[in-house]
Amino acid sequence: MKKFAVFLLLVAVIFLAGCQKRDVPKTLKVEKTGVRVYFNSEYLKSYFEALNKRTAPAPNQHRIVEYKIILRNTGAKTKDFVLADPILDPAFKKFVIYSVGGIPVRIFPGKTLDLPKFYYLTEGNPAEVERLAYQSKVRIVWEEGGKKWEKIVSVTPER
């Protein structure tokens, strides 16, 4: 009788442990999301040379928009193919003349990771670019357990 009781207890523990409901999107914590809009003539000059532009960067027209995301995996499984993508307003896209970013990464359990930054080189009204950049959101996509997951978060303006 004791062996049967121990067997039932063991089966119950295994059954309950396997039936736990996990909320996978909550196991990927967003530590920080930020967007920064700035002008840097030296940094922009290298972009202009790469784009074969003959004009110099102008402080009243050009801006760099930088998105920064820091994530923490609080779950028990590795998050594979983590990729962040800013959700941009179509009005913002018409200002963009060059963009860089978007490398998929892997986040192990308990680790914090600073995702590769996204950069947009813009040309146009700086006030409008800044307003549209601060209103944007970021979509974070990852794979875990053979399924794709998605989370959309707002960005914090950094000045």
Is residue 81 included in any domain, yes or no?
Answer: yes
CATH classification at residue 99: 2.60.40
Is residue 96 included in any domain, yes or no?
Answer: yes
Dist CA 62 CA 40 (whole Å): 9
Is residue 153 included in any domain, yes or no?
Answer: yes
Q: Strand locations in the chain, DSSP E?
A: 28-38, 62-73, 79-87, 96-100, 105-107, 112-114, 118-123, 137-144, 147-154, 156-158
Is residue 86 included in any domain, yes or no?
Answer: yes
When divided into structural domains, the chain yields a total of: 1
Is residue 64 included in any domain, yes or no?
Answer: yes
Is residue 79 included in any domain, yes or no?
Answer: yes
Is residue 122 included in any domain, yes or no?
Answer: yes
pLDDT confidence band for 100 (50 / 70 / 90) = confident
Q: What is the pLDDT of residues 60-86, one digit of tens each?
A: 888 999 999 999 999 888 999 999 999
Contact status, residue 48 vs residue 121, Cβ threshold 8 Å:
no
pLDDT confidence band for 127 (50 / 70 / 90) = very high
Residues spanned by the domain of 55 = 23-158
Is residue 17 included in any domain, yes or no?
Answer: no
Q: Which residues of 107-127 are buried (b: 16+ CB within 10 A; e: fewer)?
A: beeeeebebbebbbbbbbebe
Dist CA 42 CA 104 (whole Å): 29
Q: What is the pLDDT of residues 20-67, one digit of tens each?
A: 556 777 889 999 999 999 988 777 777 677 677 667 778 888 899 999
If you average pLDDT over residues 132-142, what whole number do you get?
94
Dist CA 116 CA 120 (whole Å): 13
Distances (CA, A) of 120 to 65, 66, 86, 93, 141: 5, 7, 11, 10, 20
